[in-house]
Structure 1
Amino acid sequence: MKELDIQRISIEHLSDSLALSQFAFQYELSAEKLEERRSQYNETENWGAYVDGKLAARMTILDLHTWLFGKRWAMGGIAGVATWPEYRRGGLVAGLLHNALHVMKEQGQTLSFLHPFQFAFYRKFGWETYTETKKYEIPTALLPKLPPQPGHVVRVGEDIELLNRIYSEYASRYNGSLDRDEAWWKRRIFANRKGSAAAYYDADGRASGYIHYQVKESVLQIHELVSLNWGAAKGLWRFIADHDSMIDKVTLNAPLDDQLPFVLDNPRIKQEIIPYFMARIVDVKPFLEQFPFAKGTSRNDGRLTMFVTDAHASWNNGLFVIEVDSDGNARIEAKELPAKEGNDEPICDLSCDISTLTAMFMGYRRPSFMNQIERLKGEEAAISHLEALIPYRTTYLPDFF
């Protein structure tokens, strides 16, 4: 194979990119949809690997934002990774991923998410599982039995301002949910999820939940069920149950901490936990500097030294000194420390690779567990200190890209 050339895909080469995507993901765009894609095309987000001047592989780096422990973070969403069969296993995707890490670093996107076709493949490049989805299938007869609620449900069409206000408050309670904008609602939510939306208003007239759903072939498919409190949840489930004469079952995806089965008269419904998206810390130092560590957890001088290895982003290789004050604010220093005799690793409190670091700081897996499975090394006191420094919060992503 000739020398690899990675560059942005210009609008002139958009037809080549769309042809590759349609082939790889097995769909076909109408003339109308092709023109729509052309009108919405963002050249800065799309990258191609060219061989002998021909587009051989492609990738999109979406400019997104996510919530992490109540803070809004810039995030690069990797999507649309595709290669023509005759160019596969030639290192093209590896080249695009390496390029993406540099691009995201330059753009200040300290985090990256992607939906893997194969988890093991992307683990090799530092991404790690960060969230799961709980999938329910509930026969109509087993839906919650609830009396009439004090509030009321109103169909709201595509009222993005209303829905996003409720969604944003809900999403910020989780790690790894997207901060949506109007374009995302239009192009990703309403364009891809057919059906209708209805909001629940409580007795005081406050919109505190919504459902986006579709009824088809006797199945009520819930695209999204969002409630800010138990009252809204009850109101929405009462509304769902009122569809009983026209449906056989309800299907929905929920966060891993969802407790619906417990409140059912018969909790023996079909439940499935599905590993979903992967995450990666792109740039360790600024990520740790922004991270909201738990307050009041500093030991002694509040200092931890952590040695991080990253085979694909050299700027993350090294030893980081983490000093956290009582308010959870951190000062991070990349520092050279003497290595142990006969050991390549410097003297430090903790050591791990980038994917392990990501799983812990996304809140997906605790340091004690990562130590137990031998992915985080360190003395018990240091493990306990890091355990105390990272707050607890469930990960959840109700979107796809």
Structure 2
Amino acid sequence: MPDDEADGVAVRPLSADRFAEFRAITDYAFQPEEGPQEYDDEPERIADRYGAFDGGDLVSVCGHYDLTANLRGEWVSMAGLAAVATPPERRRKGYVRALIDDALERWRGKFPLAALWPFSRSYYAQFGWATANTYTEYTCPPDQLAFARGAVDGEARPASADDWRDLQAVHEAQAGETSLALRRSSEAWWRERVLREDDEDRPWAYVYERDGEARGYLVYSFEDLGGPKHMNQRLTVADAAAANHDAWLGMLGFLADHDSQASEVRLRSDARTDLLDLVSDPEAVDCEVKTGPMARIVDVADALSACPYPADVSAELTLRVTDETAAWNDGQFRLAVSDGSGTVTADASGDPDATVGIGTLSQLVVGYHDVEAARRIGDLSLADGGIADALAALFPPERTYLRTFF
């Protein structure tokens, strides 16, 4: 694939001998408080690394992930963009735009969708990304979880990196119920990213079992909040999954048993607020809804063809899509759906049934917004009211929750 050489900038893969430079740039961007770091050999790659070069100088970097995500009940390929960083002396010169343009070109034809975790939502919105899901963060005293002690039969046991297959099985059971959940099938991902096997500050991990089968897991760490030792610590759950509600209760009961060790527990879930209905004193629970990752369609024809549709819905309509970043998406498309599958063709003839920006269309496809929200909050406009019914039938809202940070 040719380099993106607009304005004299070339984007190309980074070889192993550029690893120290890559880390120096990302360390300054994401953990400057740690100071300059030194690195030996390049570790096993989970993401592919790319750099923007101005002349011979490496001026900006990013990582590309090859992911698999649940889209409306089916697994599809999804690209991940991460570690986008530019040294301060090189910023505001268009290098990130060059990286994004190059990434979309490389992903086209392979990944219908792409996702990222933004440092600034408005910054990435200008390139067509839009919020993919929200999530709820709870903080409460452990005794507020005491209702779950003994609620179900089961037991928790410590987990090591060698137990990654048990965690993977639980994760996949939960992921099958939430749109945009990632598959995480790589052993290296579990060992290096979740359990941080070789990290000096690696987290604690427990598997929750019922009848000898893994049904849930927790990965968490402790933070000293000051004051007497063991009297004022926060237990923060970094990752968790439960195969069903009973397993979730079992894990909450396990967290409640840390009341002699932590003054508060912090955990996150999708945007539902069920915990407030379960605790004895909801006012003792801080509950904050936050925005999560962002997603965008890479190629409109690919995404609308890959999207599963309700089997009992048939429709044919024309969409006028606007996309200021990926020119191949900026146009008019005819979508024909029957038997759960869609066929997409470019069709510039006639007036469109609907006009929509790439960000709002992305939210419709993944299920974050329903049609009414896309009209009210987004930029979806319709030729007539009947089109709203057709779109609502094709794109019903989903429980979206991409909880995996990359």
> Normalising to structure 2: TM-score of the pair?
0.89
The C-alpha deviation readout for 1:18-68, integer Å capped at 9, x for no partner, is: 22222222145754xx225x14257x8222111231111111111222111
| TM-superposition CA deviations, 1:70-106 (whole Å, max 9, x none) | 2112111111111122221111111111111101115
Q: What's the CA shift for 1:229?
A: 1.8
Q: Is 1:358 aligned to 2:362, yes or no?
A: yes
Q: Residue 243 of structure 1 aligns to a residue in which SS? A: coil
Root-mean-square deviation over aligned CA pairs: 2.1
Alignment pair present for 1:152 and 2:152: no
Mapped to 2, the partners of 1:374 and 1:291 lie a distance apart of 20
Is the 8 Å Cα contact of residues 368 and 384 (structure 1) preserved in structure 2? no
Q: 1:288 to 1:374 in 2, by over 3 A?
A: closer
C-alpha separation in 2, matches of 1:168 and 1:258: 22
Deviation track 1:136-172 (CA, whole Å, cap 9, x = no partner) reads 1011332242352322222232201111001011012
2:133 paired with 1:125: no
In the alignment, the residues of structure 2 paired with residue 157 and residue 19 of structure 1 have an alpha-carbon distance, to the nearest angstrom, of 31
Contact 2:144 2:256 in 1 (8 A): no
2:65 and 2:81 in contact (8 A); partners too: yes
In 1, the alpha carbon distance for the partners of 2:388 and 2:69 equals 27
Task: Tell me which amino acid in the other structure corresponds to 1:396.
Answer: Y
Q: Distance in 2 between matches of 1:109 and 1:137?
A: 37
Cα distance change of structure 1 residues 264 and 20 upon mapping to structure 2, 3 Å threshold: same
Q: CA deviation at 1:354?
A: 0.6
Tell me the distance in 2 between the aligned counterparts of 1:151 and 1:12.
49
1:388 partner amino acid: A
- 1:187 offset after TM fit, Å? 1.4
Partner of 2:297: 281
Match of 2:230 in 1: none
Aligned-partner Cα distance in 2 for 1:186–1:314: 39
Secondary structure of 1:21's counterpart equals helix
Letter in 2 for 1:335: D
TM-aligned CA distance change 1:374 to 1:84, over 3 Å: closer
* Distance apart, 1:374 and its partner CA: 5.9
**Number of residues of Structure 1 aligned to a counterpart in Structure 2:** 383
- C-alpha contact 2:62 2:82 (8 A) present in aligned 1: yes
Q: Does 1:172 align with 2:176?
A: yes
1:12 is displaced (CA, Å) by 3.0
Instruction: Please say if 1:336 is aligned against 2:356.
Output: no
Structure 1 pair 45–373 and aligned structure 2 pair: CA distance change class (3 A): same
Work out which of the residue numbers 40, 50, 60 in structure 1 matches 2:44: 40
Aligned-pair CA distance for 1:391: 3.2
Q: Is the 8 A contact 1:46 1:60 kept in 2?
A: yes
1:5 matched to 2:7? The reply is no
1:199-348 residue pairs with structure 2 within 5 A? 199-202=207-210, 204-217=211-224, 218-268=233-283, 269-298=285-314, 302-325=315-338, 327-338=339-350, 347-348=351-352
Sequence identity percentage: 30
The aligned amino acid for 2:342 is: A
In structure 1, what is the Cα distance between the partners aligned to 2:125 and 2:221?
36
Q: Does the aligned pair in 1 maintain the 2:149–2:250 contact within 8 Å? A: no
Query: Which ranges in structure 2 are unaligned for 5 or more consecutive residues?
Result: 1-5, 225-232
Provide the C-alpha distance between the structure 1 equivalents of 2:176 and 2:394, rounded to a whole number of angstroms.
20
> 3-state DSSP class of the match of 1:274?
strand
Shift of 1:349: 1.0
Distance 1:10 1:172, change over 3 A: same
Structure 2: distance between partners of 1:89 and 1:62:
25
Match of residue 400, structure 1, among 374, 383, 405: 405
Question: Per the alignment, do residues 2 and 279 of structure 1 end up closer, same or farther by CA in structure 2, a change over 3 Å counting?
Answer: closer
**Aligned residue in 1 for 2:71:** 68
Verify the 8 A CA contact 1:128 1:279 in the aligned structure 2.
Answer: yes
Supply the distance in 2 between the matched residues of 1:45 and 1:219 (Cα, whole angstroms): 35
